[in-house]
Structure 1
Amino acid sequence: MKKILILSAIALCTIACKTDKKQSNITTEVATKTDTLPVITEVAQFTGQQVTGVTVSETGRMFVNFPRWRPTVKHSVTEIVNGQSIPFPNKNWNNWTEDATVTDSTFVAVQSVVASQNELFVVDTRNPMFKGVISNPKIFVFDLQKNALKQTFTLTNDVFFKDSYINDVRIDRKNNVAYFTDSGHAGLIILNLESGIFKRVLTDHKSTTAEVDHLTINGKQWVNTVHSDGIALNQIDNTLYFHALTGYTLYAVSTDVLINGTDQQIEAAVEVVDKTAAPDGMIFDQSGNLYYADLENNAILKRDLNGKTTTIAKGDLVRWADTFSIYNDTLYYTNSRINEISGPIPTMTFQVNKISLK
């Protein structure tokens, strides 16, 4: 997530469907008794440090990130080792403050981390405290065998705006590209990992734009407008799925069209998949099941290949499930508790939890 500054109320807008080629004929929300749900286990807890991202590498290493939404952030990226939060790759990369110089060897405002094939992709929004982008956003790629920087991708001026907040990333190894959502200024960004060339698509398109200006959680309105946020790559049908955070429509588009199509072709190819709960975190497993958060009901949902939706986790141990990672048939997620924060957070706790998918 994403944008937490409370914005003034705006008119509710209804987002029309582009097309419904992928929409299921019937989608049923199946109520699940809480005593039949998988056990939720806490993996790590952080006091006064709001975690948003979590990723587990192919070798089982776990990394988390803490967005710079307030000046009290101790570290931007850490590795969880035996329950302890260790700055990654070292303290120097994590020592930036608002009065410090912005360099290419320090994290400024990290929103997400994703591990892929012994590499860790770190998305640095360069937009601390949502005050606006202070330098070109960067994607840092670390070699996890050497624990050292391997490559840096710097967003070019034509693919971001002053109010951009580059949010989440999915790595497509088949096509050697990365896909990003911009939750501050609606749109998607595509990076060719070989050439380093970026392109921006679906800017202010209805599929990437927020549908509503608030969510209702535990009977209280969380007033905000957050655009394209959740993102998930289905390797089975080579399709990228995405969702505005304040919205109820899941969209999809072919990766081939995203990579090779013109703006007009991409817009024409966007499809409505389903009407869903308002999510943050989203991820596919290898069987093509989509897991996503239901922010308004403190739950995590599973949507199978037939469009059937079931609840797999619900209750007080699911408090704004922000980011998901799957490793060894286990779903890891962060509790970022975004809707609960109204001031300083020195005593609040935030968690990484896990549940078995077997």
Structure 2
Amino acid sequence: PKGRTETLQRGNNHVTCPPKLLLLDLKRNGSIVLRYEFPQQVVPIGNNYLNKIVIDDAFGGFAYITDNSGSDPGIVVFSRRLHQSWKVRENNSMRAAQNAVQFAINGTELTFSIHIDAIALGPYYNPNVQNDIDPQVDPLLANQNYERNVYYSPLSSYHLYSLPASLLRDPEYVAKATPRDILEAVTDYGRKSSQTDGMIMDNQGELYYGLLGEHSIARWDSYKPFTPKNQIIIARDRTHIQWVDGMGFDHEGYLYVVVNRLHNFVAGRMRPEETNFRILRGKTNALSYVQTPNNVFNNDVRYKYDGEVDNSLLHYGVSSTTPVSSRLETASIFGRGAAGAKEASLVTMMVLMVVAKLLAA
């Protein structure tokens, strides 16, 4: 919302520069607002693959970054207020699953074991309240408990997981927690129909994610169970949706999807005469997760507040700053319905740039 963006510099085996996090001010021609070098014990030079990043504006600002290095995968947490970073590791949910290392995408078959990759930040909710329709439940107050989940999935996995953001933000907890402590804090939502690389949450609590083997983009309302019925395919196209890598929102309700045919690049089958890199656009009438209202959840308010939160911001039960009911009612946001995917493209294509993402050596 402030016109700033974060970018990662990994570092590799061929350079001596340490991995960095840069905060750029896009309103000032990309001038560097913050530069942070990760310490060796958190992100070692030449032995990391910093990949996806989400931003949490709570308590001075945090960044949650997936590191899917082969030897030490995990979620790297950066606190802007503390100007420190630490790493959260969990072997069961953050490492590749052996039943998901086979990829078959549009005739290209690959086998690789890639750890934690996709990441998204969910909406606020009250973990102390389970019933979201009981009119007798008082609205969520700022001095009550509240939480956000950080959702993630290894690339080589069919499952979606989450950890509470409050635990990731706590360096003392992370330093003292045992592997069992972290494991017990993980939520396993269940199975997706394929592997996922790109993933993003909107400001209404809807999770959008690619399904690589199905040439599809799916949507899930995070207030509902993660069942096949609630995982809705909103776009499917064997030509244009080949390897969804990243996603983003603009301020007009459009979702942008980066597609790059990474499977062909890895297999050495990239054809330069074809269009391999695309940015697809579809109308969702939603905004990015970073636009989630946070009136009382700001830098000045920790765990106590003297008044009630405006009822227009928060619902009852599993209260959140995002509505329980979605405004997205149709089966597809990309023009035509998913049923017509075989006959025509479902997307409005905007080829804005050529993006090539290389796997770590």
TM-score by length of 1: 0.63
Matched, 1:295 2:212: yes
Q: Deviations over 1:6-31 (max 9, x none)?
A: xxxxxxxxxxxxxxxxxxxxxxxxxx
TM-score by length of 2: 0.63
| SS in structure 1 of the partner of residue 27 of structure 2 | coil
Q: What are the within-5 Å matches in structure 2 for residues 79-94 of structure 1? A: none
Asked whether the 8 Å contact 1:132–1:163 carries over to 2, the reply is no
Q: Quick one: distance in 2 between partners of 1:293 and 1:201?
A: 25
Residue 343 of structure 1, CA deviation: 5.6
Matched, 1:187 2:70: no
Question: AA paired with 2:167?
Answer: V
Q: What are the within-5 Å matches in structure 2 for residues 184-263 of structure 1? A: 184=69, 185-202=72-89, 205-211=91-97, 212-237=100-125, 238-260=148-170, 261-262=173-174, 263=177
Q: Quick one: distance in 2 between partners of 1:124 and 1:348?
A: 30
The count of aligned residue pairs is 239
| SS in structure 1 of the partner of residue 41 of structure 2 | helix
Q: Quick one: distance in 2 between partners of 1:188 and 1:241?
A: 11
Q: Deviations over 1:32-76 (max 9, x none)?
A: xxxxxxxxxxxxxxxxxxxxxxxxxx5xxxxxxxxxxxxxxxxxx
Match of 2:253 among 313, 329, 352: 329
Matched, 1:165 2:165: no
| SS in structure 2 of the partner of residue 247 of structure 1 | coil
| SS in structure 1 of the partner of residue 167 of structure 2 | helix
Asked whether the 8 Å contact 1:187–1:201 carries over to 2, the reply is yes
Asked whether the 8 Å contact 2:101–2:111 carries over to 1, the reply is yes
Q: Quick one: distance in 1 between partners of 2:112 and 2:16?
A: 22
Match of 1:278 among 192, 195, 203: 195
| SS in structure 2 of the partner of residue 226 of structure 1 | coil
Residue 345 of structure 1, CA deviation: 5.8
Residue 215 of structure 1, CA deviation: 1.3
Asked whether the 8 Å contact 1:239–1:255 carries over to 2, the reply is yes
Q: Quick one: distance in 2 between partners of 1:246 and 1:132?
A: 27
Residue 239 of structure 1, CA deviation: 0.7
Q: Quick one: distance in 1 between partners of 2:232 and 2:270?
A: 36
> Aligned pair in 2 of structure 1 residues 207, 190: CA closer, same or farther (>3 Å)?
same
Q: Quick one: distance in 2 between partners of 1:312 and 1:183?
A: 28
**Structure 2: segments with no counterpart, 5+ residues:** 126-147, 286-361
Q: Quick one: distance in 2 between partners of 1:324 and 1:137?
A: 23
Asked whether the 8 Å contact 2:108–2:264 carries over to 1, the reply is no
Asked whether the 8 Å contact 2:105–2:242 carries over to 1, the reply is no
Q: Quick one: distance in 2 between partners of 1:252 and 1:141?
A: 26
> Aligned pair in 2 of structure 1 residues 154, 345: CA closer, same or farther (>3 Å)?
farther
Residue 134 of structure 1, CA deviation: 4.5
Q: Quick one: distance in 1 between partners of 2:102 and 2:36?
A: 34
Q: Deviations over 1:271-307 (max 9, x none)?
A: 1012113101111111111100000111100011213
Matched, 1:356 2:283: yes
Q: Quick one: distance in 2 between partners of 1:313 and 1:230?
A: 19
Question: AA paired with 1:314?
Answer: R
Q: Quick one: distance in 1 between partners of 2:15 and 2:77?
A: 19
Same amino acid, percent of matched pairs: 25
CA RMSD of aligned residues (A): 1.9
Q: Quick one: distance in 2 between partners of 1:164 and 1:267?
A: 22
* Larger helix proportion of the pair: 2
Question: AA paired with 1:254?
Answer: P
Question: AA paired with 2:204?
Answer: S
* Larger strand proportion of the pair: 1
Q: Quick one: distance in 2 between partners of 1:132 and 1:283?
A: 32
Q: What are the within-5 Å matches in structure 2 for residues 16-55 of structure 1? A: none
> Aligned pair in 2 of structure 1 residues 344, 322: CA closer, same or farther (>3 Å)?
closer
Greater C-alpha radius of gyration: 2
The aligned residue for residue 183 of structure 2 is: 267
The aligned residue for residue 339 of structure 2 is: none
Residue 355 of structure 1, CA deviation: 0.8
Residue 348 of structure 1, CA deviation: 4.5
> Aligned pair in 2 of structure 1 residues 312, 344: CA closer, same or farther (>3 Å)?
closer
Match of 1:339 among 239, 243, 263: 263
Q: Deviations over 1:330-355 (max 9, x none)?
A: 11010111012216664453111111
Q: Quick one: distance in 2 between partners of 1:250 and 1:275?
A: 7
Q: Deviations over 1:183-224 (max 9, x none)?
A: 124211000011210101115x11110113221222432222
Q: What are the within-5 Å matches in structure 2 for residues 127-138 of structure 1? A: 127=12, 134-138=16-20
Matched, 1:122 2:20: no
The aligned residue for residue 343 of structure 2 is: none
Which structure carries more relative contact order (alpha carbon 8 Å, separation 6+)?
Answer: 1
The aligned residue for residue 65 of structure 1 is: none
| SS in structure 1 of the partner of residue 197 of structure 2 | coil
Residue 132 of structure 1, CA deviation: 6.8
| SS in structure 2 of the partner of residue 206 of structure 1 | helix
